Amino acid sequence: MIRSVVRGFGAALPKRVMTNKEMESKVDTSDEWIVQRTGIRQRYIAGEGETTASLGESAARAALARADLTADDLDLIIVATSTPDNTFPATAVNIQNRLGMRHGAAFDLQAVCSGFVYAVATADAYIRGGLAKRALVIGAETFSRILDWSDRTTCVLFGDGAGAIILEAREGSGMNADRGVLTAQLRSDGIHGDKLYVDGGPSTTGTVGHLRMEGREVFKHAVGMITDVIEAAFEATGTTADDVDWLVPHQANRRIIDGSAKKLGIPLDKVVVTVDIHGNTSAASIPLALDTAAADGRIKKGDLVMLEAMGGGFTWGSVLIRW
């Protein structure tokens, strides 16, 4: 059986850091409120010349270097983003061009904060279905560009960045001991569309719009949805919380991360947390966290790694990978 095995990883952040203290000068908020309610201490904000495509390109180059590959070795690029450089062409095609890749296929995938989980699941399906041999999966965002900087209930939460992994087709035994993606569980329910959305778009207002969120409503659903898809991944593979070496959650709110881990019985020292330094970077948050924990040696080859996310749509999902 073919498995999609992680061959490389990389990340990129804008140059500029914005601390909570600096946020206090923009809206009526405090470092204390932001830390207590979210765990966020700072975020990175894209400056002039830094875009979703440029950050995605940098993350891709880092992943290619780590994998000892060039763009010629890839045949698929998927970019998970809700903040593309342009409505079209896709940011993935833009990055394909920046990397000098003249073959294969590239497309964007939009599932907001669950985008990276959806993109890994999609790349895995392409690889297992024989449509691709080596896929570059990127989560890249510049949410700072769609924030309402006068709305303290949202602007303090989000940040910019990009992360990437390279998945490669390898023969596996079909057992859980195989390296690679072991299962992916995806869900969505559009009935929640009005709880986290952007109030504009090409076909409605002809504008980009700004992010709007009923935070408390999203929060109410988050832990239940996250734990459901993680339990579905356990069931699909016959694994349990005890088998998980690392939980790498979407980084929206420290309270959601801790609540989910507690409900699942995963100890906090097995949870990768970067929300304090990155804020919520939507589709980029999981690959940024993966890069952090794999680069510092926490996540090692052979470790069982659970990814999970929940966000606008609502969309939610989990991916279980043997690293």
Footprint on this chain of ligand UT7 (rule: CB under 6 A): 29, 33, 37-38, 113, 152-153, 156, 215-216, 218-219, 222, 252-253, 256, 280, 311
Options 20, 94, 253, 280, the catalytic residue: 280
Cα(first)–Cα(last) distance of the chain, in Å?
17
- In this complex, which beta carbon is closest to ligand UT7, that of residue 4 or of residue 280? 280
CB atoms < 10 A from the CB of 217, how many? 13
Query: Shortest Cβ distance from residue 86 to ligand UT7 (Å)?
Result: 24
SS (HEC) of the chain: CEEEEEEEEEEECCCEEEEHHHHHCCCCCCHHHHHHHHCCCEEEECCCCCCHHHHHHHHHHHHHHHHCCCHHHCCEEEEECCCCCCCCCCHHHHHHHHCCCCCCEEEEECCHHHHHHHHHHHHHHHHHCCCCCEEEEEEEEEHHHHCCCCCHHHHCCECEEEEEEEEEEEECCCCCCCCEEEEEEEEECHHHCCCEEECCCCCCCCCCCCEEECHHHHHHHHHHHHHHHHHHHHHHHCCCHHHCCEEEECCCCHHHHHHHHHHHCCCHHHECCCHHHHCECHHHHHHHHHHHHHHCCCCCCCCEEEEEEEECCCEEEEEEEEC
Q: Which of 113, 155, 192, 253 is catalytic?
A: 113
Query: Closest CB to ligand UT7 among 29 and 239?
Result: 29
Cα separation of 143 and 212, whole Å? 12
Q: Which residue is nearest to ligand UT7 (CB)?
A: 215
Shortest CB 255 distance to ligand UT7, Å = 7
By C-beta, is 218 or 321 nearer to ligand UT7? 218
Q: Is 278 a known active-site residue? A: no
Q: Is 103 a catalytic residue?
A: no
If the CB atoms of residues 135 and 157 are measured against ligand UT7, the closer one turns out to be: 157
The nearest distance, CB 216 to ligand UT7, in angstroms, is 4
Taking the least distance from each CB to ligand UT7, the nearer of 77 and 113 is: 113
Minimum distance between the CB of residue 107 and ligand UT7, rounded to whole angstroms?
Answer: 23
Q: Which of 94, 155, 192, 250 is catalytic?
A: 250
Between 116 and 234, name the residue whose CB sits nearer to ligand UT7. Answer: 116
Asked if 294 contacts 303 with a C-beta cutoff of 8 angstroms, the reply is no
Annotated catalytic residue 113: yes
Classify strands 304-311 and 315-322 as parallel, antiparallel or unpaired. Answer: antiparallel
Distance of closest approach, residue 182 Cβ to ligand UT7, in angstroms: 25
Supply the minimum distance, in Å, between the C-beta of residue 75 and ligand UT7. Answer: 31
Residues that are catalytic: 113, 250, 280
